[in-house]
Amino acid sequence: MPQETPSHATDRLDDDDYPAYTMGRAAEMIGATPGFLRAIGEARLITPLRSEGGHRRYSRYQLRIAARARDLVDAGTPIEAACRIVILEDQLEEALRLNEELRGPSARSGGPAER
């Protein structure tokens, strides 16, 4: 494996999708337990990448998703329902973003609507 330059390594840490966090560190960062992270993985809310040694690694994006699920579970929502809610919220956010993108610059600038 080629040696990374310091700037390349920093770029990877700035990447929301780069799996930079171990399970223990990820759990600590979102105020949860490793068991919680395993449970939301089993519910297929997030799928951590695996290191060469087989250890789970989490990205910042995955940690934001996990933190939202933890908030719902802490508020009394069953874990399966919390995972479904988070998935639907994420899908809605993506659909709204794509819709805005497809509308083009005239929709964002307040110009006349296209038919």
Which residues touch 93 (CB under 8 Å, ≥6 apart)?
A: none
pLDDT tops 60 at residue 4: no
Give the integer Cα–Cα distance in Å for 19 and 17.
Answer: 6
CA of residue 53 relative to chain centroid, distance:
23
What's the whole-model pTM score?
0.74
Give the integer Cα–Cα distance in Å for 54 and 109.
Answer: 49
What's residue 10's pLDDT?
A: 62
**Where residue 104 falls among pLDDT bands split at 50, 70, 90?**
confident
What's residue 16's pLDDT?
A: 87
